[in-house]
Structure 1
Amino acid sequence: MALKRAWCLRFMLCVSSFLCLILLWSQLSPLFGEDRFHLTRPVSSSPKEGVDFSLLFSEDLGEPQCQDHSVLLILVTSHPSHIEQRKAIRKTWASPMEGAAYPWQVVFLIGRTLDAELDWHIHKEDAEHRDILMGNYVDTYRNLSLKVMHGMKWVADRCHPQYILKTDDDCFVNTDRLPASLALHSPAKTGLYVGSVFPREKRKVIRDPSSKWYVSQHIFPPDIYPPYASGIGYILSLDAVISVLKMAEGTPPIPVEDAYIGILAERAGISLLSSSRFTKYNMKWSVCNYRYLMVIHRVSPGDQELAQKNVLRARTECTRKAEVAHWH
């Protein structure tokens, strides 16, 4: 009898656990989805639909406060666990200089995490800095396009800077020169889309389902992406951002964020400007290179401070060289 009672209790425990899992999944399913995005599908009811921006916003964290009359707002994609990267950026190029003639602002884009301890750290971090925009989607690589769309939509609706730079948390941004360069020397105040452009042979669509860059022909039939700027850093004028967002409403997202921006820009009739001032490699540049370069990729948290020191040294050590005022 006791054995039968123990078996019944074990059976009831298993059933209860199973029902709890179903309930938990029903709560998380809007964040995960299914099929082509491997449990991180964009929030869309059909693979042929575009982005539903209303579902991307989260009330879990308060939104950053927009700086008035900004020339530039920098959106930095960051994984929730990249606490050291964000700390290094805040201490260097994200730290505004007093009395800046051309105001700019940095905001970190982060998705949701299912790690309770990490989530607690993010809330603590945001309470101290108020520079994190959290989206209502799981933070995975294949949701990167959603993260960028969320950030751009927030900027376009709330902040209205003249320009937006999207970059990553392993990049260095020359904030000592970029805002002034945009304000004084940008050849286009509207319709601007500029960055380091991939050549045609690097724009092939990956059809291997095991790849994190996989895109099916059903979602994007062509085998070559239109020209697009590397996700390490590209700049869009505010009007271009608004046009891109409009195209996203009817264009299914793909997990290759920078290529997705290129697709949207082409459909919006926005021309891409190629620039060598955005470099995909950290070549241990000389001090005077920092008068020219605007975004440098593959910069570790430890090297952010060195790069910032080189920017400040370039102010006085490289003054004999003419200021470069063009993008090429």
Structure 2
Amino acid sequence: MAVRRCLKVLLCGSLFLAFGLFCSQLSQTTERASGPWFGVFSPSKTGIDFSSLFSEDLPKPKCQKGQVLLILVTSHPGHRASRKAIRRTWAHQDEGSAYSWQVIFLVGGTLDTELDWHVYNEHAVHGDILMGNYMDTYRNLTLKVMHGMKWAVDRCHPQYILKTDDDCFVNTDRLPSFLRAHNPSPKLYVGSVFSEEKRIVIRNPSSKWYVSQWDYGHSMYPPYASGIGYILSLDTAMLVVGFAKIVPPIPVEDAYIGILSERSKVRPLSSARFAKHNVKWSICNYRYLMVIHGLRPEDQILAQKNVWRARTSCNHSTEVTNWK
């Protein structure tokens, strides 16, 4: 009887120890890869806690303070082909560039050790990835962008910030010089602004753009630019980041920027230079367009070649020098 009781005690002790180790490992994994939202949107009535978004898993990229343009590109950790294509095309700078600019990729965490390892190696080679302390999901895109904005404002102080996605082409051949020469005024927020009927808040829980009444009480968003690409001047970005600390976030990144800009009293300027669709643009269109959405990695090369051709092939046409 005593032996049997002893065996029961040992068995219970072993199970308790194993359970404790499991909980400890689970806690460490969750702490490493989670943020305020862990995979799904969690309702909040407070602003963004920026301190929770920064991860120490990956060294921060370096940036040159005061450069004309900083481009923040949202990218999933697994989109290595997209990042590679961008680095080879519009993120590549000629040695004789008149204005300084930089491209940084924004990624979140995963629970895939191998995928994280690839991201670490990629950053070790290129030094252009900013990793955040949140799961890399579509519903956490707001956190990803605000994390990038906060880092850019605090560390880099660029004159302008462009937010775009890794399936977009950016005309870096013209954009930095255009911003320096032709931007009309401070407090800039420009992109492809949605019409009123496209700004209705979606309440269908099955939609990836779903926002509950609790998350946002109004039935329509204020004017905002499409997330394919929008530019904020530094003063606007500082206001947006400041209000994000007190304005509850929603899981629709570009609409949230519109909400913050409204609080900042900065109205978005709509420009056809930001194209939501990739069509068969003429060579001369590349003297005008700044952001084009919907490119596969292999499409980036053709778009870059068209930019180079437009340098000499379209000198007969008058260059448009405003955002319209």
**TM beyond 0.5:** yes
Cα drift, residue 9 of structure 1: 9.4
Instruction: Provide the C-alpha distance between the structure 1 equivalents of 2:293 and 2:13, rounded to a whole number of angstroms.
Output: 55
Does 2:20 align with 1:24? no
Does 2:264 match 1:264?
Answer: no
Deviation at 1:209, TM superposition (A): 2.3
Task: Please say if 1:169 is aligned against 2:166.
Answer: yes
1:185 Cα offset (Å): 0.5
Give the direction of change, closer, same or farther, for the CA distance of 1:107–1:39 in structure 2 (3 Å limit).
Answer: closer
Paired with 1:251 and 1:68, the residues of 2 have a C-alpha distance of: 28
> Counterpart of 2:248 in 1: which secondary structure?
coil
Determine whether 1:228 maps to 2:229: no
Q: Is the 8 A contact 1:32 1:41 kept in 2?
A: no
Instruction: After TM superposition, list the pairs within 5 Å mapping 1:27-38 onto structure 2.
Output: 27-30=28-31, 31-32=33-34
- For 1:159, which of 149, 152, 156 is the aligned residue? 156
What TM-score results when the alignment is normalised by the length of structure 1? 0.91
Contact 1:72 1:161 in 2 (8 A): yes
Report how far residue 60 of structure 1 moved.
1.1
Contact 2:74 2:107 (8 Å CA) reproduced: yes
Q: Could you tell me whether the CA contact under 8 Å between 1:33 and 1:41 is conserved in 2?
A: no
| Alpha-carbon distance, 1:89 to partner | 0.0
Uncovered stretches (5+) of structure 1, i.e. residues with no partner: none
1:292 is the counterpart of 2:288: yes
The 5-angstrom pairing of residues 1-328 of structure 1 reads 18-30=19-31, 31-32=33-34, 39-41=39-41, 47-188=44-185, 190-328=186-324
Against the structure 1 CA distance between its residues 12 and 181, is the aligned structure 2 distance closer, same or farther, given a 3 Å change threshold? Answer: same
AA aligned to 1:228 is: Y
Shift of 1:17: 5.6
TM-superposition CA deviations, 1:72-129 (whole Å, max 9, x none): 0000000000000000000000001112111110000011111111111111100100
Structure 2 distance, partners of 1:72, 1:133, is 17
Contact 1:191 1:240 in 2 (8 A): yes
Output the TM-score relative to the length of structure 2: 0.92
Residues 41, 6 of structure 1: CA spacing in aligned structure 2 closer, same or farther, 3 A cutoff? Answer: farther
Report the 3-state secondary structure (helix = DSSP H, G, I; strand = E; otherwise coil) of the residue aligned with 1:234.
Answer: strand
**Number of aligned residue pairs:** 322
Offset from partner CA, 1:55-83 (integer Å, 9 cap, x none): 11111111111124311000000000000
Q: Aligned equivalents of 2:208 and 2:21: distance in 1? A: 31
* Cα distance in 2, alignment partners of residues 20 and 310 from structure 1: 58
Once the two structures are TM-superposed, the CA of residue 24 in structure 1 deviates from its matched residue by 3.4
**Is the 8 Å Cα contact of residues 35 and 133 (structure 2) preserved in structure 1?**
no
Aligned-partner Cα distance in 2 for 1:60–1:228: 33
- In structure 2, list runs of 5 or more residues that go unmatched: 1-5
Take 1:13 and 1:227, find their aligned partners in 2: how far apart are those partners?
60
How far 1:208 moved relative to its partner? 2.0
Q: Residue type of the partner of 1:149?
A: M
Moved over 6 A (4+): 5-14
Identity percentage of aligned residues: 62
Distance 1:63 1:322, change over 3 A: same
Cα deviation code 1:121-180 (max 9, x no counterpart)? 111100100000111111111111011111010010011110000000000000000000
| Matched-pair contact (CA < 8 Å) for 1:142–1:255 | yes
Amino acid at match of 2:178: S
